[in-house]
Amino acid sequence: MRVDILRQQSPESAPYWETFEYDGPMDNSVAGVLDYINYHDDVVNADGKPSIRVGWDCSCMQGVCGACAMVINGTPALACETLIRGLKAVELRPLRKFPVIRDLLVDRASIHENLMRTNMYIGEYQPSTENDHAHQYAAAKCLKCGLCLEVCPNYVNGHTFYGAAFANDCYLVASRNRAKAKEIGAVYAAHFGRDCSKSLSCVDVCPMKIPTLASMAKLNRNKAR
């Protein structure tokens, strides 16, 4: 199977495409393919020339940590969750919304910086009266992987629109501590509500299937009150 990877040796260097031939098991995931290319044998590209190991992140290898988020055949997804069964070729790119560190490794620190900048913490648990436990459970599973930001037409790294990962944390905090609902409503409006164009592509790519639209609806309703 042909594997095309958009590579980049350092944050400053120019990206380039390199093709590898994968001849491992076809019940593997994209993460398994990358592992195979790196360590099955000496790294040789499809032209038979020696190459260097492909940089990428992983930790859990089962879709619960978000480390291996990348763009796979044009769609942002987790490499460890994307099975290659039935695929004829795989094209891998780093998430383009974040600075590249090396190859498929990107710097997603801005996700956390935005949450810190807006004091996104629950504090004392004082639940809202709404019975939306399942929604809170889902929101708290956000991986901070960045897939929702990659696909978002409004998100630009370093700008003031913080995207769906931020909106879902806003919802979680407001629903777990009603005393913070007003404060959260203000930062939500400033960094999400005002500028979201509602493409909702974030919902489609979320590996945790977080109902972002419902988070938005509840936060907007809070604001209306």
Q: Which of 1, 18, 45, 65 binds other proteins (CB under 8 A)?
A: 65
Examine residue 44 and tell whether it contacts other proteins (CB under 8 A): no
Query: From residue 219, how far is each of 2, 83, 222, 223 by CA, in Å?
Result: 45, 36, 5, 6
Q: Identify whether the C-beta of residue 43 lies closer than 8 Å to the C-beta of residue 131.
A: no
The single-letter code of the amino acid at 72 is I
State yes or no: residue 150 binds other proteins (CB under 8 A): no
* Residue 186 binds other proteins (CB under 8 A): no
Q: Does 12 bind other proteins (CB under 8 A)?
A: no
* Smallest distance, other proteins to C-beta of residue 27, A: 6
Distance between CA atoms of 22 and 33, rounded to whole angstroms? 7
Mask: binding to other proteins, 96-135, rule CB under 8 A, as x and -?
A: -----x------xx--x--xx--xxxxxxx-x-----x--
Q: Which of 1, 87, 140, 200 binds other proteins (CB under 8 A)?
A: 140
- 100: its two tokens: 């590249």
Opening angle at CA 51, ends 46 and 54, nearest 5: 95
Between the alpha carbon of residue 156 and those of residues 30, 85, 99, 115, 184, the distances in Å are 27, 33, 11, 15, 21
- Reading the block at residue 122, the tokens are 């629950």
The answer to whether residue 210 forms part of the interface with other proteins (CB under 8 A) is no
222 lines the binding site for other proteins (CB under 8 A): no
Phi-psi map region of 200: left, alpha, beta (phi>0 left; psi -120 to 50 alpha):
left
Q: Should residue 78 be labelled a site residue for other proteins when binding is judged by CB under 8 A?
A: no
Q: Which stretch binds other proteins (CB under 8 A): 79-87, 156-164, 189-197, 211-219?
A: 79-87
- Smallest separation (angstroms) from other proteins to the CB of 198: 26
Burial (CB < 10 A; 0-12, 13-18, 19+), residue 41, is exposed
Mask: binding to other proteins, 165-184, rule CB under 8 A, as x and -?
-------xx--xx-------
Stretch that binds other proteins, among 25-33, 92-100, 152-160, 191-199 (CB under 8 A): 25-33
Residues in the interface with other proteins (CB under 8 A) total 54
